[in-house]
A = this chain, B = another copy of it.
Amino acid sequence: MSDEPSAERLAALEARLRLVEDQLELHRLINTWGLAADTGNAEAAASLFADDGVLESDLSYLVGPDAVRSMITSDGQQALIEQGSAHIPAFPVLEVHGDEASASGYTTVFRHTEAGYEIWRVSANHWTFRRTPEGWRLTKRTNHVIDGGTEALELLAKAFDQRG
């Protein structure tokens, strides 16, 4: 590579930097979910999802931002907030391919009780994302509690499928 500044060299830098920025933005999106869920911010939670975005777990199957909004304002979620909850994301493994991306990793939900903190859920997650004119959005988050069953293992194993 020449020492002189060239159009190619600058374009390569721009592409690499964009990939880094994409990763940070995707981490932010994942990490925003807990803050929205634990504070009951239905609008913030819904806005993470694409119009056709899916939130699938062993608890429910939701399609679209409106369904997510309803879940956050539901009696069950409000009771959880009043009790005191922490939806804590671990540091996941990300893959970015142009305008699509995916991630694999763990989330833990702690609940406050009279006797201290209870580990309510330790889950496997797989997220897929799409770049939109408004930024990255979730096209699907699949979440399953880790309980020795194959569902959670299959979600975590997707991290390795993508590298093939």
Residues of chain A touching chain B, judged by Cβ–Cβ distance below 8 Å, are 3-7, 9-11, 13-14, 16-17, 20-21, 23-24, 27-28, 30-32, 34-36, 38-39, 41, 44, 81-86, 88-94, 104-106, 108, 110, 112, 116-119, 122, 124, 145-149, 152-153, 156-157, 159-160
Q: A27-B91, A32-B93, A89-B91 are in contact. Are A156 and B38 (CB under 8 A)?
A: yes
Q: Which 3 A-B pairs have the closest CB atoms?
A: A84-B148, A117-B119, A5-B5
Task: Give the oligomeric copy count.
Answer: 3
Q: A117-B122, A148-B82 are in contact. Are A105 and B159 (CB under 8 A)?
A: no
On whether the beta carbons of B84 and A110 are closer than 8 Å, the reply is no
Instruction: Other than A35-B105, A39-B153, A41-B157, give 19 A-B pairs with Cβ distance below 8 A.
Output: A4-B7, A5-B5, A9-B10, A10-B10, A10-B13, A20-B21, A31-B92, A35-B93, A35-B104, A38-B156, A44-B160, A81-B148, A81-B153, A86-B106, A88-B108, A89-B90, A89-B91, A91-B91, A112-B147
Distance between A72 CB and nearest chain B CB, rounded to angstroms: 13
A10 CA / B88 CA spacing, docked (Å): 38
* Chain B residues whose CB sits within 8 angstroms of the CB of A93 once the complex forms: 28, 31-32, 35
On whether the beta carbons of A35 and B88 are closer than 8 Å, the reply is no
On whether the beta carbons of B112 and A146 are closer than 8 Å, the reply is yes
Pairs A–B under 8 Å by Cβ, sample size 20: A3-B7, A3-B11, A13-B13, A13-B14, A17-B17, A20-B21, A20-B24, A31-B91, A32-B159, A35-B104, A38-B156, A39-B153, A39-B157, A81-B153, A85-B146, A86-B146, A90-B91, A91-B91, A112-B122, A112-B146
